[in-house]
Amino acid sequence: MLNLRYYSQNTITIMDKSKLGLPVGTTLDRFIKRNQDDFSYATGELSQLLRDIALAAKIVNREINKAGLLNIAGAFGSTNIQGEEQQKLDVIADIRFIRALKNGGEVCGIISEEEEKIIDVGNNYGKYVVAIDPLDGSSNVDVNVSIGTIFSIYRRLSPVGAPVQNEDVMQSGNEQVAAGYVLYGASTMLVYTTGHGVVGFTYEPSLGEFFLSHNHMKIPENGSIYSVNEGNFNEFPEKIKEYINTCKEKKYTARYIGSLVADFHRNLLKGGIYLYPPTQKNQDGKLRLLYECNALAFLVEQAGGVAIDGKGNRILDIKPYEYHQRAALYIGSKNMIKDLQKYLELNTVMAD
Ligand code: P6P
């Protein structure tokens, strides 16, 4: 890496060009190796699984960046288990992440937003299972808005050597051993936690590497940004309406991209609250517990924030009963969630 050397008085001040926005610091691979000791039980499998996810992210990033040029944007002409029209990139991302996880050999099963049932990848000796939304917010890709991948990693409960079982994927969010997201935005970032804080890596496509750019990410305890689809306002529970009105009275800033990872990432960096309350169309909320809410809840708590469902539950405490179940989600700065809870009149067990 070219360093600019500035000579002043008798000292040499080495101004690393990285401060001008070029890739900086530790590569993802070296970071994972250096922190492998964090996983006392693992002998490298989880490290390899994180690398497998990063590889798929690089490939999906390349496909997304081509979307404008090649005919891969737009609808695929099919619908997924959710009954949602599948965008071509949804399908491509699903295929890419499943292939990377299957070939990586560390995973015995996958739950994906794009697939109805557990995907048994045929690797009975894989110690882990993954719940993933391969490309969340993909309807935004045609209008060039940031989109994301969201993933959760669990240790399997069934015996190693047997096929993946239902119990392996029906674990509460508290059991996650790692979780994260990829944000395909102005720059592509991989943000994840293994329960030892939150770290962010920025992708340098010219080098094909993720570089550590955000260490020890913490969400500000207070914030003045609220993210909610106000088009649904009239359908919200009365207490939520009251809370949103106080945000306006306090002259908070409304920011809603309609892409969960992008909204979450901004609030993580700047402080804020994201709300997806129940609506007439989605009376349990729209977002999916297993492969959207749990990962972000793990991340936000590791960053000092809070994630609840508005019914008195920490998101991470919810015991799932089906793969694609939905949950209302209120997630963000600790004190903003505390304010919300005054309206919900609930004393959810808060993260300590
Ligand atoms: P609405 C995208 O479909 C998504 O799952 C999230 O990325 C996003 O935050 C939310 O739904 C947007 O939903 O109902 O406001 O368009």
Q: Is the pLDDT score of 18 beyond 50? A: no
Average pLDDT over residues 99-123: 94
30-34, 169-173, 183-187, 262-266: which has the minimum mean pLDDT? 30-34
Q: Which two tokens stand for residue 168?
A: 């392996």
Could you give the C-alpha distances from 198 to 212, 228, 271, in angstroms and in order?
A: 11, 24, 15
The residue from 156, 180, 214 where one domain ends is 214
The residue from 194, 214, 234 where one domain ends is 214
| Higher-confidence position of 19 and 242 | 242
Specify whether 239 is located in the same domain as 179: no
Using CA positions, which residue lies closest to atom 12 of ligand 1? Answer: 258
Sign of CA dihedral 19, 51, 297, 256: positive
- The whole-number pLDDT of residue 144 equals 86
* Number of Cβ atoms within 10 Å of the Cβ of 15: 11
Specify whether 35 is located in the same domain as 176: yes
* Model-wide pTM > 0.85: yes
Average pLDDT over residues 262-271: 98
Q: Is the pLDDT score of 16 beyond 50? A: no
- The whole-number pLDDT of residue 1 equals 41
Question: Is 18's C-beta closer than 6 angstroms to any atom of ligand 1?
Answer: no
The CATH number given to whatever domain includes residue 150 is 3.30.540.10
Specify whether 38 is located in the same domain as 67: yes
Give 181-206 pLDDT, tens digit per residue.
999 999 999 999 999 999 999 999 99
Return d(Cα 270, Cα 264) in angstroms, integer: 10
Q: What is the band of 248 on the pLDDT scale with cuts at 50, 70, 90? A: very high
Return d(Cα 350, Cα 213) in angstroms, integer: 29
- The whole-number pLDDT of residue 73 equals 67
Contact (Cβ atoms closer than 8 angstroms) between residue 224 and residue 253: yes
Return d(Cα 228, Cα 222) in angstroms, integer: 17
Which secondary-structure segment (H or E) carries 78? strand 75-79
Give 250-259 pLDDT, tens digit per residue.
999 999 999 9
Q: Is the pLDDT score of 104 beyond 90? A: yes
Pairing of strands 225-227, 273-276: parallel
Question: Is 90's C-beta closer than 6 angstroms to any atom of ligand 1?
Answer: no
Question: What is the distance in A from the centroid of ligand 1 to the CA of 296?
Answer: 14
Specify whether 289 is located in the same domain as 175: no
152 DSSP assignment = E
Q: Which long-range contacts (CB under 8 A, 24 or more apart) does 279-283 make?
A: 279/232, 279/235, 279/236, 280/235, 281/235, 282/326
Question: What is the distance in A from the centroid of ligand 1 to the CA of 18?
Answer: 35
Which secondary-structure segment (H or E) carries 260? helix 260-270
Q: What is the band of 143 on the pLDDT scale with cuts at 50, 70, 90? A: confident
Specify whether 173 is located in the same domain as 234: no
Q: What is the band of 36 on the pLDDT scale with cuts at 50, 70, 90? A: confident
Which secondary-structure segment (H or E) carries 250? none
Using CA positions, which residue lies closest to atom 9 of ligand 1? Answer: 260
| Ligand 1 pocket: which of 82, 85, 136, 140 to mutate (most atoms within 8 A of CB) | 136
